[in-house]
C-alpha cells in the first residue's frame, strides 16, 4: 500500500510541474482528485463493507492527501511514504 501511495505522491509532483508549464489547470487537478478511488470505496461498492487489512492502494482520502500535498509543493523529496 505504501508503494501505491508513493505513486500518487509522484503523480502530484508531476502534476505540479505540468501545471507550471500550463499544460493542465486547476480544473484538471480537481477532476483528478475527485477520480481518486481508494480501496475503501471499491470494497464498499463491491462487497458492501470495508476490510482495511486487505487494502492495497490506500483509502480515497489517503490517495488524495499524498497527491495534493506534493502537488502543492512540487518536491519529490517529500514522497517517502515508508517513514
pLDDT given for residue 69 in this prediction = 87
Q: Is the pLDDT of residue 35 over 90?
A: no
For residue 63, the tally of other CB atoms under 10 A from its CB is: 25
pLDDT given for residue 10 in this prediction = 95
pLDDT tens digit sequence for 38-51: 999 999 999 999 99
What is the residue extent of each domain of the chain? 2-78
pLDDT tens digit sequence for 49-80: 999 999 999 999 999 999 998 999 999 988 99
- The DSSP annotation for 23-82 comes to SS-HHHHHHHHHH---HHHHHHHHHSS--GGG-SS--HHHHHHHHHHHHHH--GGG--TT
Amino acid at each position: 500500500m505504501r508503494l501505491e501511495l508513493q505513486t500518487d505522491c509522484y503523480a502530484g509532483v508531476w502534476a505540479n510541474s505540468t501545471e507550471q508549464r500550463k499544460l493542465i489547470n486547476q480544473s484538471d487537478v480537481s477532476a483528478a482528485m475527485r477520480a481518486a478511488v481508494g480501496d475503501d470505496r471499491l470494497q464498499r461498492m463491491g462487497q458492501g463493507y470495508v476490510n482495511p487489512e486487505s487494502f492495497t492502494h490506500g483509502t480515497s482520502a489517503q490517495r488524495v492527501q499524498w497527491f495534493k500535498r506534493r502537488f502543492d509543493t512540487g518536491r519529490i523529496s517529500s514522497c517517502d511514504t515508508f517513514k
